[in-house]
Structure formats: C-alpha cells, structure tokens
Amino acid sequence: MKEQLQLLSKDSIELIYPLLLLAPRSSSRPLDMSRLRIPCSCTRATRRQFSTSHSRRDVVDLAFHRHNPPDKTSKGPPIILMHGLFGSQRNNRTMSKALAKDLSRPVYNLDLRNHGDSPHSPVHDYISMAIDVEHFISSHSIPRPTLIGHSMGAKVAMTLALRRPSNYSALIPVDNAPVDAALKSDFHTYVQAMHEIEEHRPPFTKQSEADKILAKYESNVAIRQFLLTNLVKKPAGGVDHQERHRGEHRHPQKTELRFRIPLHTLAKSLPAMADFPFKDPDEARYEGPTLMVRGTQSHYVADDALPLIGRFFPKFELLDCDCGHWVMSENFEEFRAGVVEWITRAVDER
C-alpha cells in the first residue's frame, strides 16, 4: 500500500465531505490501527410515481456520469458511486476514473436527489433515495452492480442492499454505520450560514463575497470551499425577471450566485438523515460481500457498532484507513488500493 497522502490537493477539496455527522461517537477505538479485517454521459430527471407496499413516492431520474475503463472492456460488475450530503458527482470524479481504470469496469457516478444536477423533491429520506437509485439501475439495465457510498451515500447503499439483497454483487459503505444517531451541532450551523448567504440583499455575485459570510461560521478554508461549490450563477432577479426584460438589454444579462441545492428541503430533512430505515437485522440482511471502510481518526463507525453491522452484513470485512471522515480525499491512495484489492479478491475471484 502506498504511503498515505498527507495534504489535500486542489482536486481533493471537491471530494471533502465534512457535513454529514450521523454516526455515534465513541472513544473506545484506538486511533493507531492501520488496517483491520474482520470476517463475519449525464441526464436530468422528471418525476414519476413509484408504487410501494406502504405509499406512492415520487421518483426522479438521477443525473450521472459514466466513467468507462480506457480499454473499453468490462471485467466485472459495474460500480455505482454515491456522494454525501451537500456533495455531488463532482466530489467522486477522480476516484471514479481511478476505479474504472484499475478494475476495468464502468463506474456510474450519481447525483442523488436534491443534489448536483438531479431534480429537487420535497421528500428527502433514505427510502426515497434508494428507490431513485433502483429506478436508475433498472432504466439503464445495469446488472448486479457493486454499491459504494460515502456518509449519506453509505446509508443509501446499505438501504439498497437490505431492500433487494440479490440485486447487488457487493457493498462498500464508507464511514457511516446502519444506526440511528444524533446530528452534530456544526451541521445545523452550516445550514444557517448558507441560508444567510442565500438571503443576503443585494445577492452576491462573487464567491469571495459569500466566503466572508461563511467565514463567520467556519474557520476551515477547505470546508468553506466545499460548501461554496454548491453556489452557481443564475439570472439576476430570477428567470421571470429576465424574460420580462429580455428585449430591453443590449448587454449580457447580469447574474447572481444562488445555491443549486434546496436548502429548505434539506434543513427539514436533518432528522431523517440522522436515522436508518432498518432497525431489526433479523428482518433484513445482506449476505453478499461487504467492505466497511472507516477512518481511524473519525468516530462515525464506532467499535460498539460492529456487532450490529455484523448482524446486518454477516460477511463484512473492515478496512481502516489512517485518516478522518473524508476518507477518499484525506487518504485517496489507501482507499483506492484497498477497494481495488478487495473487489478483485472478494468479488471477481469468488
């Protein structure tokens, strides 16, 4: 395994996911462990109605990018890669390319609902996100993919595997556990900061202006830059204003910065993000190959959660990376090498 990366690169800023603080804290795990194994193209969506045994849910067609291996061959099950809260497929772009190349298979890099270029919906919970991904897999005829998800995306991946165990070749949740857990207060602070930016009048036209507001709430520059990737240029005054005055302008239309994510919806959904939809491992279980990845300096996957993880996922192995919560950015190489080795051994060679 190559030596871990110590510094965040420019590209890794987009990979950082500092926000989803969903798992229980624990001081029981020593932080000097290096590695431990325990056997036990893009599109935009329209909304659809999906019938379940409990209710009818809106389903959206997820935006995505497919990364193909350089030689265009496919030597194993495709990979579905899912980001965390306030993230997007941009966060996983570099990792997607690396896995597609190293494993010689396509990697589908998704924008989950209410994120990136995927449509907005007033409902944001793990079951709804899982149904979106199920619809995506079915629509694109993807055969038994391997699921990889980070933080919020990890809970989506675990939800998918527990809903339809036979549909997936393997599961890799990254730094989150199948448990209910309280949100850390910092998360609410970030939402408050973004609301202040969104409501500022006159609207900001430069990211540096928005960063001054965000700096009052968060001193970490990398975290601020991550949050600000969600700011996009939109017509000043809104689309309706621009349409009314289209003929009056001889010069390029003015723009202003707006968040592309629905802040109000995501703020309301924080309690749902803290939960996990499956409570009883005797009623739902995924017995396929599972690699639980965690950062040794993170508290998202506590030692005392391992027995429950083993009941939900009896064949799980544990990969500890020497880093914090942002595993794919803080220790890109160890994560990449560990996942490639595990998929080759546990999925392709079995």
- Tens of each residue's pLDDT in the chain, 350 residues: 444 433 344 444 444 444 434 444 443 344 343 444 444 444 444 555 444 433 456 899 999 999 999 988 889 999 999 999 999 999 899 999 999 999 999 999 999 999 999 999 999 999 999 999 999 999 999 999 999 999 999 999 999 999 999 999 999 999 999 999 876 667 788 899 999 999 999 999 999 999 999 999 999 887 888 889 999 999 987 644 444 445 555 555 789 999 999 999 999 999 999 999 999 999 999 999 999 999 999 989 999 999 999 999 999 999 999 998 889 988 999 999 999 999 999 999 88
On whether the CB atoms of residues 121 and 47 are closer than 8 A, the answer is yes
- Are residue 162 and residue 288 in the same domain, yes or no? yes
Backbone angles phi, psi at 264, to 5 degrees: -65, -45
Whether 135 and 60 map to the same domain: the answer is yes
Identify whether residues 163 and 214 lie together within a single domain.
Answer: no
Q: Is the peptide bond before 202 cis (omega within 30 degrees of 0)?
A: yes
**Which pairs count as long-range contacts for 47-53, CB under 8 Å and 24+ apart, including other chains?**
47/119, 47/121, 48/135, 50/131, 50/135, 52/131
196 shares its domain with 176? no
* Residues 150, 36 share a domain: yes
Instruction: For residues 20 and 153, state if they share a domain.
Output: yes
Q: What is the spatial distance between Cα 293 and Cα 58, in angstroms, rounded to a whole number?
A: 31
> Could you say which of 251, 268, 285 is where a domain stops?
268
Residues 90 and 203 in one domain: no
What is the extent of the structural domain holding 45? 10-180+275-348
In this structure, is residue 5 part of a structural domain? no
Element (H, E) at 132: helix 126-139
CATH number at residue 284: 3.40.50.1820
Do 57 and 144 sit in the same domain of this protein? Answer: yes
CA–CA distances in Å: residue 225 to residues 215, 271, 325: 10, 25, 17
Among candidate residues 302, 291, 299, 306, the one with its CA nearest the CA of residue 336 = 291
Q: Does residue 147 lie in a domain region?
A: yes
Q: Tell me if residue 169 is catalytic.
A: no
* Residue 223 sits in the same domain as residue 252: yes
> Residues near 103 by Cβ (< 8 Å), separated by ≥ 6?
69, 75, 76, 79, 340, 343, 344
30 and 317 Cβ atoms separated by less than 8 Å:
no
Is 67 among the catalytic positions?
Answer: no
Q: CB under 8 Å to 323, separation ≥6 — which residues?
A: 4, 295, 296, 297, 298, 330, 331, 334
Model pLDDT, residue 222: 79
Same domain flag for 309 and 330: yes
Is residue 109 a contact partner of residue 95, using CB atoms and an 8 Å limit?
A: no
pLDDT at site 242: 44
Same domain, 238 and 282: no
pLDDT of residue 247: 52
Q: What is the pLDDT of residue 184?
A: 66
**Within 10 A of 205 (CB to CB), how many other CB atoms are there?**
14
Structure tokens at 79: 């990979």
> Do residues 106 and 207 both lie within one domain?
no
**Among residues 151, 269, 298, 329, which one is catalytic?**
151
Residue 135 contacts residue 118 (beta carbons within 8 Å): no
Q: Give the pLDDT of residue 93.
A: 96
Helical segments of 24-118, H only: 93-103
Partners of 26 in beta bridges: none
Question: In this predicted structure, what is the pLDDT of residue 54?
Answer: 39
pLDDT in the model for residue 164: 98
Of 239, 268, 297, the position where a domain reaches its end is 268
Overall number of domains in the chain: 2
Task: Tell which of 268, 296, 323 closes a domain.
Answer: 268
